[in-house]
Amino acid sequence: MLPFFDHDAVMALTYAGAVHALRGALLAGLDVDADPVRTVVPVPAGQLLLMPSSGARYTGVKLATVAADSTPRIKGVYVLMDAATLAPLALLDGPALTTLRTPAVSALAVDHLAPDSPARLVVFGRGPQAHGHVAAVEAVREVTGTTLLGRGDDPSPVGEADIVCCTTTARTPLFDAALVRPHTTVVAVGSHEPDARELPAELMTTVVVESIATARREAGDVILAGTTDLVPLAAVVRQEATVPDDRPRVFKSVGMAWEDLTVAAAVYEARAS
């Protein structure tokens, strides 16, 4: 019987451990554009999302379900396999894996974009991703204060923030770009739909993304703003590219299958050791 890593087993890797695994994969030369395109299959109750990826040692696929009229809204499972034989090795709780890897990707970006100094953090959202982003940012920066805002809240705390994370299902910008200070790092993870965005177009001048091709296909924040200056996260991590420091630094994530595979493999290896 395959081992099943439930929520607690997945989260035991910690955000710091997930950031370490993701950074290591990019530094080792991972080609983030090798992943197949995310497949979205409509079904009567909602959607099936299929996210496969393969590397040197492991292959895996996340099957996530999105049911608008169900709680929790997102469910699913991850299947980790041996890359050489495709024999299944383990099953992981899909929502837990997403709760771990998405903030960890954001924290990796923050670690390479934000000043290395104590920071005030503002997070839009109050769900698992919001709380996960608080913990993940705390894994890479000293946080001196945190404010969680709902979509209907007064966005003025953005004006005092050093790091802003947007983790909502908003389809229109959450705040005015004029609120954001020049040194602030802004992260948006809430959507992978081309017609939805959390950030105002005025912020989207130079944007760090997981994959340029994927961002141009799925990232509404990028598409609706018409952003052309896109910088791959891998190039920033490998110190092959820099971003201007005279304006807010922006990271837009849509979530990619290589991230799930990298973190799932790290969970599996940590539990096996």
What are 132-179's pLDDT values in tens digits?
A: 999 999 999 999 999 999 978 999 999 999 999 999 999 999 999 999
Claim to verify: residue 39 and residue 111 sit in the same structural domain: no
Whether 107 shows a pLDDT value over 90: the answer reads yes
Claim to verify: residue 106 and residue 219 sit in the same structural domain: yes
Give residue 73's pLDDT: 81
Whether 89 shows a pLDDT value over 80: the answer reads yes
Claim to verify: residue 114 and residue 241 sit in the same structural domain: yes
Dig out the tokens for 224 from the structure: 């609706």
Whether 79 shows a pLDDT value over 80: the answer reads yes
Percent of the chain with pLDDT over 70: 100
Claim to verify: residue 61 and residue 113 sit in the same structural domain: no
Global confidence as pTM: 0.96
Claim to verify: residue 49 and residue 61 sit in the same structural domain: yes
Give the residue from 79, 76, 84 showing the smallest Cα distance to 46. Answer: 76
119 against 273, higher pLDDT: 119
pLDDT 10s digits, 8-21: 999 999 999 999 99
pLDDT 10s digits, 213-223: 999 999 999 99
CATH assignment of the domain containing 108:
3.40.50.720
Claim to verify: residue 148 and residue 168 sit in the same structural domain: yes
How many whole angstroms separate alpha carbon 7 and alpha carbon 11? 6
Average per-residue pLDDT for the chain:
96
Claim to verify: residue 61 and residue 110 sit in the same structural domain: no
Could you list the residue range(s) of the whole structural domain that residue 109 is in?
A: 102-252
Strand partners, 139: none
CATH assignment of the domain containing 88:
3.30.1780.10
Give residue 68's pLDDT: 78
pLDDT 10s digits, 24-46: 999 999 999 999 999 999 999 99
Claim to verify: residue 135 and residue 15 sit in the same structural domain: no
Claim to verify: residue 247 and residue 261 sit in the same structural domain: no
Split into its structural domains, the chain has a count of 2
Give residue 191's pLDDT: 86
Claim to verify: residue 109 and residue 214 sit in the same structural domain: yes
49 against 70, higher pLDDT: 49
Give residue 72's pLDDT: 80
HEC letters along the chain: CCCEECHHHHHCCCHHHHHHHHHHHHHCCCCHHHCCCCEEEEECCEEEEEEEEECCCEEEEEEEEECCCCCCCEEEEEEEEECCCCCEEEEEEHHHHHHHHHHHHHHHHHHHHCCCCCEEEEEECCCHHHHHHHHHHHHHCCEEEEEEECCCCCCHHHHHCCEEEECCCCCCCCCCHHHCCCCCEEEECCCCCCCCCCCCHHHCCEEEECCHHHHHHHCHHHHHHCCCEEEEHHHHHCCCCCCCCCCCEEEECCCCHHHHHHHHHHHHHHHHC
What value does the mean pLDDT take over residues 184-191?
Answer: 96
Give residue 77's pLDDT: 98
What value does the mean pLDDT take over residues 185-214?
Answer: 96
Give residue 155's pLDDT: 97
What value does the mean pLDDT take over residues 110-139?
Answer: 97
pLDDT band at 273 (very low <50, low <70, confident <90, very high): confident
CB 166 within 8 Å of CB 158: no
Distances (CA, A) of 177 to 123, 130, 184, 216, 266: 15, 21, 11, 22, 37
Give residue 192's pLDDT: 85
